Structure 1
Amino acid sequence: MFEGPSDYSPALQQLHDRYRRIAQRIGLAGLVLVGLALGLTGLFGRISFNSYVEAGNYALILAGLALAARRDFHIRSVMNGGLAALFLCYWAHVFVEVQSGDINVTTLIYPLFIPVFIAIGLDYRLQLALAPLQAVFIWFCTVAFTEAYPLGGPGLSDERMLAGSLAAFSAILLVLLAMVQISRQRTDQRLVQVITEKEHLATTDPLTGLLNRRAFLAALKTAADETGEVTAVFIDLNNFKPLNDQYGHAAGDAVLRAIAARLERSDAIAVAARPGGDEFAAIAAPCRNAAEMDAALAGLYAELVCDVAWNGRLIHVGASMGYAHKGRDDKSLTACLSEADTAMRRVKAAGGGYARFAPEVDGEAIETELMQVTFPRALASGLIRPALQPIADAGTMEIVGHELLARWTGLAQADINSRQPGPEEFIPVAEKLGLLNELLWTTLDTTLSNWKSEPKALSVNISPGQLQTTDFIPTLRRVLDKHRFPANGVTLEITERVALRNLEANVGMLQRARKAGLSIALDDFGTGYSSLSMLTRLPLDKLKIDRSLTLAAATAEDAPENALLRGALRLARDLGLVTCVEGISSETLAEKMRKLGADQMQGYWIGQPRLVESPDEKPARLAC
């Protein structure tokens, strides 16, 4: 067993803490017993100066033991030394009483058990060493007692027999305690060995001997806590799978072990790990400045990509290495790791090499990664909220419906540069994470629960993944039926990008949606390259003309977009489609679209998106 707390691994710390608590309890309990004994002595009127001296000696030893346990100071040494001193101190006071003639029945009975009780906590070697002393001391007390109180038997032989028997009995007790202690200490040693082996297996990669992912993260946190600064390094071997396929897994294992050995012997690396597969991670050794760090890691990279000798041949090794630095209080460890990984993937995409994380180059990628972590939490906690933007009749300017939008509100997105991500940022993330349906059902349920306006007309944007989900239409109908919202008041908006993905399957899904009473609108018309053919192939009810075409047509009367806009409106009218022009930002533009024959209009001049509020909330208008 170890002495200081710094010698302990986390798995052994529990055993150490248990022993420390035992030592502290022995010290405190002993102090209480000494106080009680002194009080009882005074109560019976037998207190003397020697009583105070004896109690003071005991209290001093026990207080030292309790204090050492509390401060975690060489507990085993203090425990053994303190209890041994307590053992000898007790016998010293017994001898003083005997020499002073203060002999009674307690002079014989107490020494039989109190020293043995003290010796229970000692190491077995001390117990065996004290056993002969205990026998001698008991012999002495017994002889003194029988001299003061003769047994009245036939002679001295009986008194010696009693003294010898009690001395042997007391010594045997200590020997038995030592045997029990030997057994217990061997059990503890086996337990320590098992825990140590388990700790090694739990924290070490068995192939390379490096730390595994869990141990690396713990080491990274420790390094950051100690110095406040740390540089994380991620390394990924290039074309490792083809190497395994060409030479076999034995060659692949040899390469992994060679890379691990290079990392361990490199002066640029303080801690190395293999999280798994062909990936390595490391904590760079501290450097005085960024230039020195770059130079050190450049040297490391040059060493890593040297060929590996295996079975008489040289195997080329390619690697991609990225690293990021965490200064004092400038970012979290999670962010630092993510930055290093992003830099590594950037150089891997470029064919290999090494690079430091650069915010101007990697910033967008890191924000997307962070958003993939924060978006599910924001959705679950209600920070992704529905908003409604009105749609007006072009002729009467009356509100004829609303488009359902999603907005990220609140402060949980603080990890993303303390700003509110727009839908153009988090909608692709939701689609990548497979959370678009959950986003739709959450916002739709909230909207319909608080629906107040008439008429009941709502447009909903959908994606390819949602269209191809077989239970999408039945689930949508259940949500509508739950709130008694008419299906013919709901319009599903799809873009050309959505429709073009698996066109035939999407056409079939949209036809089923129309049979269920829903309307279909083609959104963002004018931004794609096959919209005209789409108008005849898709089962459409409405055509929404993109704001880019509207704004371009508003800049000049002779702009080519004017002809496109007029043609689109005329074509939609001939096909029997309702038209809605987006991007209406002024009364002049609205009047122009009305003259061109638009049926509906949508834009900030018509109305900005407003968050859907519960009855006890104040209305809120969004800035975007």
Structure 2
Amino acid sequence: MSPRLPARLVALLPEGRVLPDDVWHRRHRIVLTVAAAQAVALGFLALALGEGAAAAMMETAAVLYPLAFALLPGAGRTLRAGAATLSLLAASVLLVYLMDGQTEAHFHFFVVIGLVSLYQHWVPFGVALLVVVLHHGVLGTLLPHSVFGHSAAHQDPWTWAGIHAAFVLAASLTHLAAWRLNEQQGLRDPLTGLANRTLLMETTDRLLIRTSGEVSMLFLDLDDFKDVNDSRGHAAGDMLLAEIARRLSSCVRPSDQVARIGGDEFAVVVSGGPEIATAIGQRMLVALADPMVIEGRPHVPHVSIGAASTTSSPERDAGVLLRNADLAMYMAKALGKNRLVHYADGMAQAAEEKVRLLEDLAGAVAGGQLRVHYQPTIRLSDGRTTGYEALLRWEHPQRGLVPPGEFIPLAEEGGLIVEIGRWVLEQAVQQAVAWSAEAGEPVEMAVNLSPRQLADDDVVATVRDVLTASGLPAGQLTLEVTEGVLVHDIDAVIDQLQALRRLGVRIAIDDFGTGYSSLSYLRRLPADIIKIDQSFVQDLDAGGRSTTLVASIIELARSLRLSVVAEGVETSQQSAVLTELACSHAQGYLFGRPQAAGSESLPAAPDDPAELFAH
């Protein structure tokens, strides 16, 4: 026999899911009512068949007696269900006795087995099968006339006990199959076939009860999944989820369970501690790193994973494990996404603060708490200001100035960035119009565009409407996007950027060199400017390896006829190296910190660039 056969047979059996309290009590009341009614009915039947009143009362009491245990205050489900089952079976035995073993009376056993299967619990089901076998086999041998109603069975009771048992077993298997199928209803995600939240929690509870060892939970959330649905449609999103489910399932052991618990949320219960959970989580990150072909287009999904184990909490509870893993997942997103983070003390408090901050951010625009600061862009050849970059700031009424790195990702996650981004665009464009009028010459303005805004189908219309309302020529506006937009759908990104360029605005690739883009993608992107990330610029002081890299980026941009802006220039030496490398423009504290526009007019370019924007 194959060693896997017993395991497969066990897998076909019901798992013994715990029914919800309201469902169990409703079914239990039905069983009690039937048991009490048939006890009284059998008493009247005994009287009708010539039994004495005393005998009839004793027989009725014998059927009713087990129900007393089912009604005990504080009794658990197992005792109540077992007692009710014994009452039902006592009625079956009494009915067969009163009917002198007639075959038709045995049908009552089949009814009882079907009735107690409503409990979906092994104890009453097992009691029913045991009593049936003992009654037909043992009692059928000792008192065959009280069990069987024909002479053949009287002469060979065990043979007929076996025949009856076979029919009882067949009926039992039917109820077991129905029980198993009933357990599976509503427990599987229809799209992926994975377990759903209900089954995950039940599996976790059973694992926590069955073992005293460590149990862990992984909570996975796809990064920027909404952008996939928005740009490529829900059908493509469903295909992506199904493929992700397949890959996640390939990363776990047979003892673990993967579940889809939300739109783009998955969870995994792991039999083991943090080390095992980490190994499985890292396998999942690697498995998802390979591009997936969705409707003929490649896509690389990123996922943030939170992990929690019973070692990090004194409570061995499935709900606590899932909550802690969820909190750790949010920390993974806050740290840059596409990574695994373990739960630690204090994360719950941090999550509460994050929720409060998101609530405050929702009213920041209407409350006049948001500010736009402007940082100049300098032409290195003559030190003159050629334009400004609009940078968002939040002046919280209690917390003061909230760092952009803290609230902008929050606005992305909370879906507020589209509204806020439009407000920033309007403010920046209006300021560019005012400064242009003061200076008597065009002043260029750069505004950052988030991946969520770029995925919004209305972004082109929004930019067009803002330009029309303000009167700013489109050529004076630059929209900056980070390389992060490339991880979603490169073809959709290109389409959107091309539509924006057709309005006449310019496109800049921000933080170039730190993200996903490659030289082949850069050639395809409809870009006008690349901005060298400040991490490379800061290394220029020491003459490090970044000098060669920056020189290569500048040469590449020149070959593609793109302008170059170096970010984060803080020292004269960095400025000198960039000038020597023929970098055309720069930004940084050396030339001016981001500041509010104020009431003063646009400054003229000074002789000393360090004095620029000092007001």
Task: Give TM class, smaller chain.
Answer: 0.3 to 0.5
TM-score, scaled relative to structure 1: 0.43
TM-score (norm 2): 0.43
Higher relative contact order (CA 8 A, sep 6+): 2
Larger Rg: 1
